[in-house]
Amino acid sequence: MLKNYLLILLLSFSLCKQVMAKDYAQDNISRRYSSLVINASNGDVLYKHNADALVYPASLTKMMTVYVAFQNIKSHRLSLNTSLPVSRYAASKQPTKLWLKAGQKISLRDALYGVIVHSANDASVAIAEAICGTEEAFAIKMTNIARQLGMSNTVFYNSTGLHHSGQVTTAIDMAKLAIALRRDFPELYPMFSKHSFVYRGAVVNGHNRVLKRYRGADGLKTGYVSASGFNLVTSVNRPEGKVIGVVIGGSSRVMRDNHMIALLDQGYTSLSGSRRAGADNTRRDVFLAAQVDGIDTSVSPVKKLRAKDRYNKKKIYKNKTIKLVAAKSGEKSKIRKRA
C-alpha cells in the first residue's frame, strides 16, 4: 500500500514538472512572438500582434545588408560583377556559410545570392567589408539607413544577424524594410525570389519554403537564433494586391511557416473584405506604432489602440547615442509608397 502511494506521489510530481516546463516554454515563446500583415500598397494593417515589441532579428538582419549593397549598385559604386576579397575574419564566420576561404574572391552577385538564398554569414561579412572596410563601420551605416527608412526601433551591430544583445528590431520595422527593398530596387528585388543558385558548379539550396508553398510569394528572408526563435518576412504579389507578412519568434520552422501562411490567408481575406465594403462605414486599420497588450496568437484582425504615453529608450552604440522610440502610443506611422 505504501509502495503504491509513493508511486502515485512520484508520478504526480513528475507530471507537475512536465506541466510547469510546458507552461514555461509556452510563456517564453509568447514573450518573444510578434507578427504583422500589411497591405504593401498603402500600409494598411491587416493583422498585428506585438508588432512594435523589441525582438532579435537574427538573419532578417541580412535584408538591410542587401539593401545597402543594392544602394551601392544603384549608385554605380559597385556592380553585380564586382569582385569582393574574402578576409580571414569573413571566412571565420560560423555557419550558415558558403565556406569561403581567406584570400579568395567572390563576385557581388554570388555573395548576394549566398546571403539572400542561403543566409551565408561569410558572404555577408565580405559585402560589409567591401563597402565600409569593417563590419563595425558597416553596422553603423545600416543603423543610419534604418533611421532614414523610418525604422526608429532598430539597431544593428553586425551584418549577419548572429546574436548580439543590442541588435534589436520590431515586426513593424522589418515590414518597412521589406517595402523599401521592393520600392527602391525594382530591378534587383527579384533576387529574393530565388529558391536556389549555383556556386562553383554546386547547387546551393535556400531555407525559405514558403516561397514554394504560397501562391504569389516572391521573397524575402528567413532567420533563426536561439534567442529569437524562427523568424520570417514574406512578400506576396497577387492580382488582388501586394501583402507583406512578418512572423518573429516561431517555435519551429514548420510552425513559423504554417503560421505565416495562415496569417497571409487572413490578410487577403481582410483585403478582399475591405474592398467589398467600399464606401461603408467599416473602419480600416492603419499602420500604428502601438503596443498590443496580452498574448493571443489567434488569427484575427487587429483593432486600433487608444493613444497612451510614449516612452523613450536610449542605447549606447559604440561612441554614438541612438535614441530608440519604443512606442506605447497610438501614434500613426502609416507606411506609404514613395512617389
Active site residues: 59, 62, 119
With CA atoms as reference, report the closest residue to 60 among 143, 136, 140, 171. 171
C-alpha cell at 158: 553586425
Q: What is the DSSP letter of 189?
A: G
Burial 113-123 (b: 16+ CB within 10 A, else e): bbbbbbbbbbb
Q: What sign has the CA pseudo-torsion 23, 260, 181, 191?
A: positive
Cβ neighbours, 10 Å, residue 140: 19
**Residue pair 249/265 in contact by the 8 Å Cβ criterion:** no
Q: Which residues pair with 235 in a beta bridge?
A: 219, 244
State the Cα–Cα distance between residues 98 and 153, nearest whole angstrom: 31
Neighbours of 6 (CB within 10 A): 10
Yes or no: say if 218 and 236 are a contact pair by the CB < 8 Å rule: yes
| Cβ-proximal residues to 182 (8 Å cutoff; 6+ apart), any chain | 40, 189, 219, 235, 242
CB-based contact 108:126 (threshold 8 Å): no
Q: At what angle do helices 108-118 and 121-132 cross, to 10 degrees?
A: 140
